[in-house]
Amino acid sequence: MVSAAAAVLLATVAAVRPPGAEAAVPTCWDDRVPVALAPGLPAAQAVAVRLCVPGDDTPDLVQLLVPGATYNSSYWDFPVKRNSYVDFMNAHGRATITFERLNTGRSDSVPAPLVTTPDDAYTLHQVVQRLRHDGVAGHRFATVVTVGHSLGSINATDEAALFHDVDGVVVSGFTHFPAPDLVTGLAANRLVEPAPGQPGEVQPKPGARAEYFYGPSGADPDVLAADEAIPDTITLGELATFPTGMAGVQSDLITAPVLLAEGSGERIFHCAVGPCATAEEVALVEGPRYAAARSVTPFVLAGSGHDLNLAPNAPEFFARALQWIDETVSFRRV
């Protein structure tokens, strides 16, 4: 059942869809962006990206989508299309580019100890710069908004704090308070297991996503089946360094506007002592962690678990992100 507020939001977003966007078929390109592991090193590796623009027009703004731990770009361009953030944004006339961390998806692999969350942030920074300057598939963008999920939100937060080169940050599925289920799940080896043939990397345990990543009402069977079919990895280096993202030091340095999106049934990150039940609670608990941000906007997706994109009402989150970008980030509309 869609709430009255959600229905108004979806209707508002539908009303501002650019002319012809419903019929427009997005054009997509796969590309690889050369990256260095750290400043001063050669760009000897490459990360996989996929740029999609709506129809024949290229907007001035692109959303750079950063997946979480054990996911790759499939989280954003999900096989069950009603849960595809990419499809939703492209249908509403917005450009997207998916990004896969080193050692995931179609990106290059390097020794796992070389991949930590600071490395992820520097890699992401190089993709932002590529979009702004050299371009991807011949397309450059003056305005870049990073959209993260979970570990991807930490990566996006770190990048924005260190380099100040994005125009907005969407943080989803992350707060500065790890939930007990995250701590015990990792400690008891219930969330992940060693990835076969990939020393220093772990992958999701079968069934762990269904147990930990969905809301109280569970998962749509088609969504869960697709989710289980697309596992990916996280390095032990990333696992060891991601808690620094919860310390709050980096988020305090972000100056761009921030949208904080959480699920009311979240089991991985909480608002202090429990799940973030309301937007007001997110603002109270998490807002002060973004002290320098131009603005901080809270949003809670009712009933969603950790994976907001895979909730039955995921389009409500997609619509809120689109609305927030349009209202908060200045860019040239085509």
Instruction: State residue 296's pLDDT score.
Output: 98
CA–CA separation, 221 and 310 (whole Å): 11
Percentage above 70 pLDDT, the chain = 91
What is the mean predicted confidence (pLDDT) over 36-49?
96
More confident residue, 25 or 130: 130
More confident residue, 43 or 273: 43
| Residues 282 and 299 sit within 8 Å (Cβ to Cβ) | yes
Instruction: State residue 245's pLDDT score.
Output: 73
Dihedral of alpha carbons 108, 119, 67, 88, sign: negative
Q: What is the DSSP letter of 60?
A: S
Instruction: State residue 2's pLDDT score.
Output: 55
pLDDT higher than 70, residue 130? yes
Backbone angles phi, psi at 175, to 5 degrees: -135, 180
What is the mean predicted confidence (pLDDT) over 139-156?
97
More confident residue, 197 or 10: 197
Res. 17 pLDDT band, cuts 50 70 90: low
Instruction: State residue 332's pLDDT score.
Output: 52
- The structure tokens 């979240």 sit at 266
Instruction: State residue 41's pLDDT score.
Output: 95
Q: What does the block give as tokens for 157?
A: 């937060």
Instruction: State residue 171's pLDDT score.
Output: 98
Instruction: State residue 3's pLDDT score.
Output: 59
Instruction: State residue 25's pLDDT score.
Output: 84
* Residues 72-118 pLDDT 10s: 999 999 999 999 999 999 999 999 999 999 999 999 999 999 999 99
Domains and CATH numbers, the chain: 32-328 (3.40.50.1820)
Instruction: State residue 334's pLDDT score.
Output: 45
pLDDT higher than 70, residue 43? yes
Percentage above 90 pLDDT, the chain = 83
Closest to 37 (Cα-Cα) out of 124, 143, 129, 152: 124
The H-or-E segment that residue 91 falls in is: helix 85-91
What is the mean predicted confidence (pLDDT) over 171-175?
97
pLDDT higher than 80, residue 204? yes
pLDDT higher than 50, residue 20? no
Q: What is residue 208's three-state secondary structure?
A: helix
